[in-house]
Structure formats: structure tokens, C-alpha cells
Homo-oligomer: A and B are copies of this chain.
Amino acid sequence: MKNGYNIYTETLLTLPLFSELTPHQSKQIISLCKIRNYKKNEILFFEGDNYMGFYILLEGSVKIYKISFEGKESILHLIKQYESFGDVPLFDGGKYPVNAQVIADSVLAFVPHQEFVELIKNNSTICFNILVGFAKKMRRLTQKIEEFSTKEITSRFARYLLEEIKKSGTANLPEPFVKITISKKNLASYLGTITDTLSRLLKRLQNEKIIRVDGKSIFILDINKLKALAR
């Protein structure tokens, strides 16, 4: 499967990152990328590992996380389809700053850094596209820091729900809903808390008739109250 022209190779070239390349450059990119399937729970890299290259998520789900000294995990990003990650060390020359683990069966493209850096050093288009990606990521990180430093968990969770509803496209239904595709543990860690607290929070919001939980789905009963909590 490695390197081969396959269904994903074409997808890869349509990504914003690689748009507006010459045919020759496209060929180079393709010969560089290693597309591979990964099983749930596989580790891609650990914090501090020597830098090998970055990844692009083509299918599935990946979490980017840190482990504190006490062993507590906190998830910084849940990578979205077609998003790249592990690209920070490309430019500052350091090691991987975080851990990355596949949390559902996935397909990833791996781009080895040496060759890639050579390729882009003289390609302002790709550089600019990467900058766009970085800018978006910085905005999200900035947002997260603000939330972590000023908001309580209830508020962070409310924001998360509102965000997910927007993405799900159910915002205008009488009962907008979110399907949670990750484990409660991962969700808790993403919100900066633990499962115990998340569990209690879900119960409380149900008692207050703000949400209704049905298996992996959360239905919003009172979006205005939810918005008030998100403040």
C-alpha cells in the first residue's frame, strides 16, 4: 500500500495545502508521501521523539495530547479530516512537542521532513498554505487557553456542544443534537477534566432539562440556557 497511487493520492493533491502546485511538484509530493492504514490505539509518535515528519489525516480520528508528570492526560487537538499535524518541528527544528495516537481505525499520509523542507524552501505557495493552517491552529489554541484560564467546565462543555451542533448541521432542528464519536474519557480529557466530573455534569444538565442523553447522542432541549452557560 505504501507510496502507491490509490484513491487517497488524488484526494491528497486536492487539499488546500497542496493546491496550486505544478504537475512536477505534485509528482514530487506523491512520491514523498507514505499512505498507510492504522488500527485504533496505535501510537504515531511520543513527545520528545526525534522528528521524522508530519501527518495528514485522510480518514478516521487522531488525538494530540500531553501527559503531565502525575500521569494526567490532556488532549490539545482532536484532528479533523484532512488536517495535518506534527508540523511544528518542521520549522523550529525541535522534537515532537506532543503525543499522537490514532483513536479510531484511520488512514494517514506521512510526509518525511527532510525531503519536504527541501521541496518547500523555494515554494512560497506551499509555505503560504501551511501558514494558513498554522494561523487557524493558533486561533484554536488561543481560544482554548482563554477557556482554560477563565472558564469553568460547565461553560467549556456548553461551548463544545454549541460548536459541535454547528458542525453537525442540526442547529436549526427543533432538537439539535450531537453524536459523540469519541469515548467519554477522551471527551473529558479534551475538556480538561476527568470522566467523573463529566458524568456528573451530564446528569446535572439533564436534570435541568437542558440536554437529553441517549446513548452516544446528546439532544439539546433548551439552546438558550445552553448559550447562557457558554458565556
Q: In this complex, what residue of B is CB-closest to A151?
A: B68
Report the minimum CB–CB distance from A160 to chain B (whole Å).
Answer: 14
Report the minimum CB–CB distance from A200 to chain B (whole Å).
Answer: 18
Question: Cβ of A150: which chain B residues have Cβ within 8 Å of it?
Answer: 66, 68, 70, 72, 74
CA distance A127 to B124 in the complex (A): 7
Contact A121 B132 (CB under 8 A): no
At the interface, yes or no: A183 with Cβ under 8 Å from chain B?
no
Contact B136 A98 (CB under 8 A): no
Contact B141 A91 (CB under 8 A): no
Q: In this complex, what residue of B is CB-closest to A75?
A: B149
Instruction: Name, among A89, A120, A127, the residue most crowded by chain B CB atoms within 10 Å (CB to CB).
Output: A127
Contacts A74-B145, A142-B98, A151-B68 given; does A92 touch B135 at CB 8 Å: yes
CA distance A98 to B98 in the complex (A): 25
Contact A91 B124 (CB under 8 A): no
Question: Cβ of A24: which chain B residues have Cβ within 8 Å of it?
Answer: none
Contacts A91-B134, A139-B88 given; does A68 touch B124 at CB 8 Å: no
Q: Within residues 113 to 153 of chain A, which ones have a CB less than 8 A from any CB in chain B?
A: 120-124, 127-128, 130-132, 134-139, 141-146, 148-151
29 CB contacts below 8 A, A to B, read A68-B146, A68-B150, A68-B151, A72-B150, A74-B145, A74-B150, A76-B142, A76-B146, A88-B139, A88-B142, A91-B131, A91-B134, A91-B135, A92-B135, A94-B139, A98-B142, A120-B124, A121-B124, A121-B128, A122-B124, A123-B124, A124-B124, A127-B128, A131-B131, A134-B138, A138-B138, A138-B141, A141-B145, A144-B145
Which 7 pairs across A and B sit closest by C-beta, in order of nearness? A127-B127, A68-B150, A91-B135, A124-B124, A148-B148, A149-B192, A92-B135
Beyond contacts A66-B146, A68-B151: 5 other A-B pairs, Cβ-Cβ < 8 A, are A76-B146, A92-B132, A92-B135, A92-B136, A144-B145
